[in-house]
Amino acid sequence: MFRTLTTAAAAIALLAPAAFARDLVISFDDLNPGPKKGFEDAVAQFKAENPDINVIVNINDREAHKTAIRNFLTADAPDVTSWYPGNRMAPFVDAGLFQPVDDVWADNGFNEDLAAIKATMSRDGKIWGVPYSYYQWGIYYRKDIFDKLGLSEPQTWDELLAACGKMKEVGVTPFTIGTKFLWTAAGVFDYINLRTNGYDVHNALTAGEIKYTDPRIVATFDNWEQLINECGFVENHASMSWQDAIAPFANGDAAMYVMGNFSVDGYKNAGLTEDQIDFMPFPVIDPAIAPAEEAPADAFFIPTNAKNVEDAKKFLAFVARPDVQTQWNKTIGQLPINSKADISDDKFIQEGFALLNSATGLAQFYDRDAPAAMAKAGMEGFQKFMLDTSTKMEVLERLDEVQTEVYK
Amino acid sequence: MAHATMPDTNVPTEATWMQRNKLAIAPWFFLAPALVFFAIYVVGPIFESLYLSFFEWNGLYTADGESTATWVGVDNYVKLWDDPNFWTSLVNNVLWLVLFMLAVPAGLFIALFLNQEVPGMRLYKSLFFFPFVISQVVVGLIFGWFYNPDFGVVGSIYKAFYCEETVNFVGNVTFKCVGSPPDILSSPEFATYGIIAAGLWPQIAYCMILYLTGLNNVASDQIEAGRLDGAKGWKMLWYVVWPQLRPATFIAVVVTVIGALRSFDMIAIMTQGGPFGSTNVLSHYMFETAISEYGERYGYGSAIAVVLFAIMLIFISYFLWRMYQDEKGGR
């Protein structure tokens, strides 16, 4: 059915007079109103600047896109597609389905303007895509509860544990979380690991170079265990999604949430006002470790089978331009990656921008940096550990087994 | 047949091959469409899975359309043997098989209960049949909420007994509880039982309807004869009604076994195999390793599919053999 449709479309395209000299097909992966508008506005501007290019956009739902891309890169490739950097792009790069875009970076000065993300966009010594947006992770907290308890933003691990003690005294659970879909636990793990061991260990671990039973990773888990025992997460987190976990936060039963900036909308929809919530970086555990943050990026790639590579590169150069990134990220409430871009005056965006600019490394998130099979096993292990901390060594040993299988 | 009624006016000529073999060919002609589709969509994939299970493959083709799979022999099966998640799934499959069988007697007793003349009986029957009509996904969602410790029925009952309403630190209403309400779907011990209970609800309805139709066919003269001989209650059920329900029982057992082995929707909706893989069954584990976001290991997933198929084959062979025996006996 689909085949006949595409052939029919191709036949029509052949018959149609060549009014537009070049078609540029772009696949995008977000149907939510904000992101969709940001993308469509950018495309409209691109069209206005390049009237000779006939842009055809193809917007899909995020999950559907994840499935579809596996087929369309071979069968019927668009000229540009959105995808994620880090290990998420690795299978496609390894299968030769994306083409390198080093020249786009060199010609447009992206090597300087997008320097922070360059390592994440690279594999095998080449650069594979151009990012248009990212967002920060950290701790979102109930400012009104902190004020009422006379607490300020904890800067260090000990201050955090002390603050937790005060919260528990008045019956507030320090952290909320919903681990039903697993990845939220990975956010907590990543941060404790980044603060305990730093960015290089995070990368070495997700690249399979060090074992999970390595003393450094065990130290991360020891800190995590301390966080669970002395601070504590809401009960029943294993049956809640991240959205469900907003309920205790909004109700004032829990005071902190390790999350990404996309969650701010959720807090506001749950009835919290801008004055009640605030953002703080995850506290320092070891002062000798340079600060690194989680900042998952979204990017565009050119498939190897793209038909109009020249215009595809033009579009890639366009999406990373400072003015385009400024406007786009204002619309979607995220951060531009181009260091010359401006940011909106939203307080979370401002804080995030400051945070990420001072970071020495940007992690993409455990499930984007580690291969899929490892990420799945790892996150299940994190959940198991969170439900019962006595399984620590059992979990880590199992992850070692999976690791030897996955990275061969 | 057609030959006999046709007026035989022509001088008998040499019959063509087609004419001579008409009777032998006709059934194959009618079977052909079904056979073709069965071969393409059922038999083909079985062999393809078997073939794929000897490869390691992430499901991708290169830009030229070449598969990126590499041959690994029986490696995937060796890995399965050492994979604790696989064993958890297998044990859960057995649990499903055993506990799902409860649907057969439960369905029988509801059918017996409903098999009486009362005004409005049709309505009651359809109400009992209702869970089978609604989608498994909906059943999963309903039970998921039902078990939810915060706002579900289970949580509410617990709260009524063990919690008291208080005002929290910022002045909102909250609950202080003795212990914590049971969180069935996120406890590794009970989650599988919780899902099976949800799965039983529509399955009992299915068995019930099978028995209701079976009960319609129970010969009334035998019941009467039994009654004259003084049979009633359990004896009547055991010696007179039950033997006549054998065909219904057979079908009920078959659909229940198959339903248990292919349980997938409920797990996908209620727990996604979690917490940490403890509610997985083979079909869901296969999906997870092969097709889901964190999977992309098609060879390994195929190996799981082959194991599941081997288990099903035992039951399928038995059922086919039974049916074949019945057919022979019936002739």
The answer as to whether A363 is a domain residue is no
Measured in angstroms, the CA of A326 and the nearest CA of chain B are apart by 31
Of the pLDDT bands very low, low, confident and very high (cuts 50, 70, 90), residue B8 is low
**Same-domain check for residues A171 and A302:** no
Contact indicator for B77, B266 with CB cutoff of 8 Å: no
Conformation bin of residue B224: beta by default, left when phi > 0, alpha when psi is -120 to 50: alpha
Domain match, A163 and A254 both = yes
> Does one domain contain both A264 and A320?
no
Would the CB atoms of A239 and B176 count as touching at under 8 Å?
no
Q: What is the pLDDT of residues B274-297, one digit of tens each?
A: 788 889 999 999 998 888 877 788
Which chain B residues are Cβ-neighbours of A145 within 8 angstroms? 169-170
- Strands (E) in chain B, as ranges, are 55-56, 70-71, 163-167, 173-177
Residue A364 located in a structural domain? no
Q: What is the mean pLDDT of residues B220-232?
A: 86
Mean pLDDT by groups of 10 residues along chain A of 408 residues: 47 46 88 87 93 92 86 90 88 91 92 85 91 92 93 94 93 92 92 93 91 95 95 88 91 93 88 92 93 90 93 93 91 87 86 84 87 88 92 93 86
Do A39 and A153 sit in the same domain of this protein?
no
Exposure of B62 in the CB half-sphere (CA atoms within 13 A): 8
A331 & A378 share domain: no
Residue A63 lies in a domain: yes
A63 touches chain B (CB under 8 A): yes
What is the per-residue pLDDT for B316? 87
Contact B284, B267 (CB under 8 A): yes
pLDDT at B63: 83
Residue of A151, A239, A240, A407 best to disrupt the B interface, most CBs of B under 10 A: A239
Is A361 inside a domain boundary?
no
Residue B89 has pLDDT above 90, yes or no: yes
β-pairing, A361-363 vs A292-294, is parallel
Instruction: Measure in Å the smallest separation between the Cα of A260 and chain B Cα atoms.
Output: 20
Q: Are B275 and A383 a contacting pair at CB < 8 A?
A: yes
Selection from A83, A53, A64, A140 nearest residue A303 by Cα:
A83
Q: Cα–chain-centroid distance for residue A319?
A: 18
The pLDDT value given to residue B331: 52
My answer on whether A332 and A382 are in the same domain is no
Q: Which two tokens stand for residue A204?
A: 């070495």
Alpha-carbon gap, residue A322 to A132, rounded angstroms: 10
Alpha-carbon gap: B275 to the closest alpha carbon of chain A (Å): 7
Contact map slice: B 204-263 vs A, CB within 8 A: none
Give A88's DSSP letter: G
**Domains contained in chain A, number:** 2
Could you tell me if A289 and A302 lie in one domain?
A: no
pLDDT for res B66:
83
Question: What tokens were used for B174?
Answer: 């909250």
Helix (H) or strand (E) run with residue A384 in it: helix A372-387
Find, among B287, B271, B260, B263, the residue nearest to B187 by Cα.
Answer: B271
Q: What pLDDT is recorded for position B198?
A: 93
Q: A144–B170: do the CB atoms touch at under 8 Å?
A: yes
Rounded Cα distance, A334 and A363, in Å: 17
For A303, phi then psi, to 5°, come to: -65, 150
A246 with A159, same domain? yes
Whole-angstrom distance between the N-terminal and C-terminal Cα of chain A?
40
Residues within 8 A of B (CB atoms), A 2-61 only = none
Residue A365 located in a structural domain: no
Residue A128 lies in a domain: yes
In chain B, what residues touch A402 (CB-CB under 8 Å)?
none
B6 confidence band (pLDDT: 50, 70, 90): low
pLDDT > 90 in chain B, percent? 42
CB-CB under 8 Å, B289 with A384: no
Domain CATH for A171: 3.40.190.10
Question: What's the rounded mean pLDDT across residues B256-283?
Answer: 89
* Paired tokens of A255: 């005071």
In a domain, A360, yes or no: no
Cβ atoms of residues A142 and A277 within 8 Å? yes
Say yes or no: A41 and A57 in one domain.
yes
| Chains A–B, number of C-beta pairs less than 8 Å apart | 115
Please write the tens of the pLDDT for every residue from B24-73: 889 999 999 999 999 999 999 999 999 999 999 888 888 888 888 899 98
Residue A253 placed within a domain: yes
Closest chain A residue to the Cα of B155, Cα to Cα: A236
Nearest chain A residue to B268, by CA: A181
Q: What percent of chain B has pLDDT over 70?
A: 95
Q: Which of residues 321-340 of A touch B (CB under 8 A)?
A: none
How many Cα atoms sit within 13 Å of B315 on the Cβ side? 18
Q: Give the structural domain span for A99.
A: 2-133+297-354
Nearest beta carbon to residue B276 from set A148, A373, A383: A383
Residue B3: predicted pLDDT: 52
**Same domain assignment for residues A274 and A229:** yes
Which of chain B's residues have a Cβ under 8 Å away from the Cβ of A235?
Answer: 149, 180, 183
ipTM of the complex: 0.77
A154 and A287 in a single domain? The answer is yes
Would you state the structure tokens that stand for residue A270, as one six-digit string?
Answer: 């749950």
Measured between CA atoms, the residue of chain B closest to residue A87 is B294
Do A79 and A225 share a domain, yes or no? Answer: no
